Amino acid sequence: GAGVSQSPSNKVTEKGKDVELRCDPISGHTALYWYRQSLGQGLEFLIYFQGNSAPDKSGLPSDRFSAERTGGSVSTLTIQRTQQEDSAVYLCASTWTSGSYEQYFGPGTRLTVT
């Protein structure tokens, strides 16, 4: 079956512009996670959704970052007024429900802010 998909796969944007990243989880998965991997760094948690609500937004680095999920499916991560330090690979993962279940990762979106 289809895995987690993300779009775009690559995004180059100018500093100060807004960007939207999209994640389409595996059908039936109620939990969705956003992670970020900066160059040479490990993975860091940003936010997760259980259904349409976000119980944990503690990883969002600033108020320029926001995310939403509608219909318990697709999620968008929005970065406003992008900065060069936002350059990273943004990864999305989904699982049946929040908790200790195997997470299935999407291919990521490589964001470059020039």
Please select the residue that binds another protein; options are 15, 101, 112, 114, rule is CB under 8 A.
101
110: contact with another protein by CB under 8 A: yes
Q: By CB under 8 A, is residue 25 in contact with another protein?
A: no
- Residue 11 binds another protein, judged by CB under 8 A: no
**Interface with another protein, residue 105, by CB under 8 A:** yes
CB atoms within 10 A of CB 30: 16
Tokens of 75: 């999620």
Q: Are 114 and 24 in contact (CB under 8 A)?
A: no
Under rule CB under 8 A, residue 64 binds another protein: no
> Residue holding tokens 């995004």?
11
CA 59, distance to chain mean position in Å, is 11
Site of interaction with another protein (CB under 8 A) = 31, 33, 35, 42-45, 48, 50, 56, 59, 89, 91, 95, 97-105, 107-108, 110
